[in-house]
Structure 1
Amino acid sequence: MARTASLLLFALLAGPADAEMQVLDDHELADVQGAGIGFVLDQVLLDASNATITINDITNGSGQNVPISVKEFYLGAAGSNKGANLSPVTIGRLNHPFALNLAKGEAMRTLRDDGQWVQTTPSNVTVLEFMFPERLTGAAGQPCIGGFAAAGNTCSSRANEKVDMGIRFDFQVAAGRTDILNLDFAELTMDGSYLRLWGDSSRSQMVGEARINLFAKSLQIMSCAAGTSGCSSTTEQRDRTIFLNNAYANISLGYGKTQPLLFDVSSNGQFALELPNPTASGTTTAEKNALAADFYANAPRTNIVINSLQAGSGNFGSGGYNFGYNAIQGLSINYLKVTSHDL
């Protein structure tokens, strides 16, 4: 595995900060109010095309091991031709970095689809946040997907800061059979994504909220390993591939003020993620109505848009089956519970 990474760490000031790093003397440092740290991934290239990581100790209902092999992982600059021609990429800038923050909930904001910044986290709690480079408003932003205006111009990442990334998973669920999932992203960026965590005293557990933004020029999902039987020629590989062109997803999990994302583990070791009803904390009809009004007015929504979806042989618009434009937009989740189960 070839790996080149450099982290540029700098203090984030509570007030506005210049893009350039500046030397501070002891007197100036005494006046700095730390709000977290930011970092940039400088000239990163990951190539694990010849490496395999096997995940064991996942068992089925009969207690048999179900190994998962992770192969062909790569990350580099856009234009790599699915990892064949990798070159380093710098992700983020000093004025738009990745960040690890610790702040009060009332100080944090989330960009809503209508371009408004809203408070989603509860007040009077300390929140730990890991965030990608932020999305922007106004003319300062960059195209989230080059040449596809519908994805918006709110990203801070420029074209040369987007990445090509791929990974392959081999699942041995049944004896003598291997199922394969091979993913290749082109021009991927995740601006505006974040994970926020805090303690909920009333529930006596850790809770949080997450925003997962994915913008990709293309995503190819193949169900076979290139070069193997039935997956050698270009036509055979395309026959077992789903093509997503100009695709993006803004996935909102939780509205911390009234619908935090709950993390739990059951007594038999199963994991559970739950989004409770946002009006559950109301005791009267008026309180429930007020909570519902705030939730529907301010909670970020989930959007999944695929400009062109095709399964099977051929490029977009020819061969195979073209499902065309597909979208789920403005989705609001009133209640959700996801649990793991034995196979």
Structure 2
Amino acid sequence: MNVGRLGGLLLGLAGVAQAELKVLDDTELAEVQGAGIGFVLENVLMDASQATITVNDITNAAGQNVPISVKEFYFGAAGSNKGANLMPVSIGRLNHPFEFNLAKGEALRTLRDDGQWVQTTPSNVAVLEFKFPERLTGAAGQPCVAGFAAAGSSCSSRASEKVDLGIRYDFQVAAGRTDVLNIDIRELTMDGSYLRLWGDKGRAQLVGEMRLNLFAKGLEITSCATGTAGCSTAAELTNKTLYLGNGYANIALGYGKSQPLLFDVSSNGQFVLELPNPVAGGASASQRNALAADFYANAPRTSILIDSFKNGTGLPASGGYNFGRSEISGMSFNYLRVTSRDL
């Protein structure tokens, strides 16, 4: 990130801006529209390939420490060859920035995969939103996955704004044994992703909805550390590597008007994410039917497509067996509950 340019901008603003902070009550806050900031990430590069971060104090059911080491983390421009040739990358533009907003629910819209804009958040609530650069409609967009038309051309990110990302985790779940999860992603973009949060008075808790869009030219997952015993020959790497080529996932979690995503912590300290039944709020049969009709007509759906799924190494993968193309399209969740567990 160009810190010098950012610092100069802040100093310039400080020299010309004069403002007075004013306390706003809840009624005044409810009328606030367009309050937020937009920003871009310029010349970003992260290289922690020689560093190790160890997370302790995570225990299994027997109370034993299960250390997790984070290694080989990198983030940079596409074409890095799994972090070997890292270059800075700029993500977002002034006309397509990241956004951090505060708005009323009725002012927000979600772009469904069929190109329609719909209101998903309830009216008359203040919503806090963090949003990636938005996807586009019409001919103005860019290919979401280079050379793969099935992923669509609605992304605002250009080829130069896509990133290579990698990280390795070492787990010591069993004494005397280290398990490895090594992940490398090529040409990643997340246009249209967002997280929205608000308070639900009836439930007396924080709720929200999330849209997670992942577009990637390649994703490689290896269950060993390259160059170590059992992970040095081409055959060993092939047997312990999965490669996903030309893949995307449009994951919709929550439809705020009738099925908000619930965040909670159980009595034994486990994190819980839940999508309740979308018609549970209907007091009568007619109300439940109306909620169901709205949900199935307007709620964004979840779709996942992997053009090539095989075991093998390299980007693209070489050797191994190709399992072919896999797709899940138009899936919705009538009920979902996800909770953490002790190891």
TM-score, normalised via structure 1 length:
0.90
* SS of 1:274 mapped into structure 2: strand
The one-letter amino acid of 2:293's match is A
1:124 maps to 124
- Separation of aligned partners in 1, 2:247 and 2:232: 27
Is 2:219 the counterpart of 1:219?
yes
1:238 maps to 238
Q: Is the 8 A contact 2:34 2:102 kept in 1?
A: no
* SS of 2:286 mapped into structure 1: helix
Q: Is the 8 A contact 2:212 2:252 kept in 1?
A: yes
1:114 maps to 114
- Separation of aligned partners in 2, 1:300 and 1:141: 20
Question: When the two structures are aligned, how many residues end up with a matched partner?
Answer: 324
1:202-213 equivalences under 5 Å are 202-213=202-213
* SS of 1:139 mapped into structure 2: helix
- Separation of aligned partners in 1, 2:290 and 2:70: 48
Displacement of 1:288 in angstroms is: 0.6
1:295 maps to 295
1:126-165 equivalences under 5 Å are 126-165=126-165
Displacement of 1:231 in angstroms is: 1.3
Deviation digits for residues 106-138 of structure 1 (CA, Å, limit 9, x no counterpart): 000100011001000000000000010000100
- Separation of aligned partners in 2, 1:313 and 1:99: 37
Assess, with a 3 A threshold, how the Cα gap between structure 1 residues 8 and 108 changes in structure 2: closer, same or farther: farther
* SS of 1:322 mapped into structure 2: coil
Assess, with a 3 A threshold, how the Cα gap between structure 1 residues 290 and 35 changes in structure 2: closer, same or farther: same
Assess, with a 3 A threshold, how the Cα gap between structure 1 residues 192 and 55 changes in structure 2: closer, same or farther: same
- Separation of aligned partners in 2, 1:216 and 1:146: 9
1:60 maps to 60
Q: Is the 8 A contact 1:54 1:68 kept in 2?
A: yes
**Structure 2 stretches lacking a partner, 5+ long:** 8-12, 20-31
Deviation digits for residues 66-112 of structure 1 (CA, Å, limit 9, x no counterpart): 11111100001000000000000000001000110000000001000
Displacement of 1:278 in angstroms is: 0.3
The one-letter amino acid of 1:151's match is A
Displacement of 1:164 in angstroms is: 0.4
* SS of 1:321 mapped into structure 2: coil
The one-letter amino acid of 1:301's match is R
Displacement of 1:285 in angstroms is: 1.1
More helix, by proportion: 2
The one-letter amino acid of 1:243's match is Y
1:258 maps to 258
TM-score, normalised via structure 2 length:
0.90
Between 314-323 and 38-47, the greater mean CA deviation after superposition: 314-323
Is 2:105 the counterpart of 1:105?
yes
Displacement of 1:227 in angstroms is: 1.4
Deviation digits for residues 239-264 of structure 1 (CA, Å, limit 9, x no counterpart): 21101000000111100000000011
1:279 maps to 279
Give the share of equivalent positions with the same residue, in percent. Answer: 73
Displacement of 1:36 in angstroms is: 0.8
* SS of 2:209 mapped into structure 1: strand
- Separation of aligned partners in 2, 1:33 and 1:58: 42
Displacement of 1:178 in angstroms is: 1.0
Between 197-206 and 226-235, the greater mean CA deviation after superposition: 226-235
The one-letter amino acid of 1:38's match is G
Q: Is the 8 A contact 1:8 1:39 kept in 2?
A: no
- Separation of aligned partners in 1, 2:318 and 2:189: 28
Deviation digits for residues 263-299 of structure 1 (CA, Å, limit 9, x no counterpart): 1111111111100000000011111111001001110
Displacement of 1:194 in angstroms is: 0.4
- Separation of aligned partners in 2, 1:167 and 1:61: 27
Q: Is the 8 A contact 2:243 2:317 kept in 1?
A: no
- Separation of aligned partners in 1, 2:317 and 2:341: 40
2:178 maps to 178
Dislocated runs of 4+, deviation >4 Å: 4-9, 23-27, 313-318
The one-letter amino acid of 1:91's match is I
- Separation of aligned partners in 2, 1:342 and 1:280: 31
- Separation of aligned partners in 2, 1:116 and 1:284: 30
- Separation of aligned partners in 2, 1:97 and 1:188: 17
2:166 maps to 166
2:188 maps to 188
**Structure 1 stretches lacking a partner, 5+ long:** 10-20
* SS of 1:324 mapped into structure 2: coil
Q: Is the 8 A contact 1:282 1:291 kept in 2?
A: yes
Q: Is the 8 A contact 2:278 2:291 kept in 1?
A: yes
Q: Is the 8 A contact 2:196 2:209 kept in 1?
A: yes
Assess, with a 3 A threshold, how the Cα gap between structure 1 residues 65 and 248 changes in structure 2: closer, same or farther: same
- Separation of aligned partners in 1, 2:295 and 2:82: 41
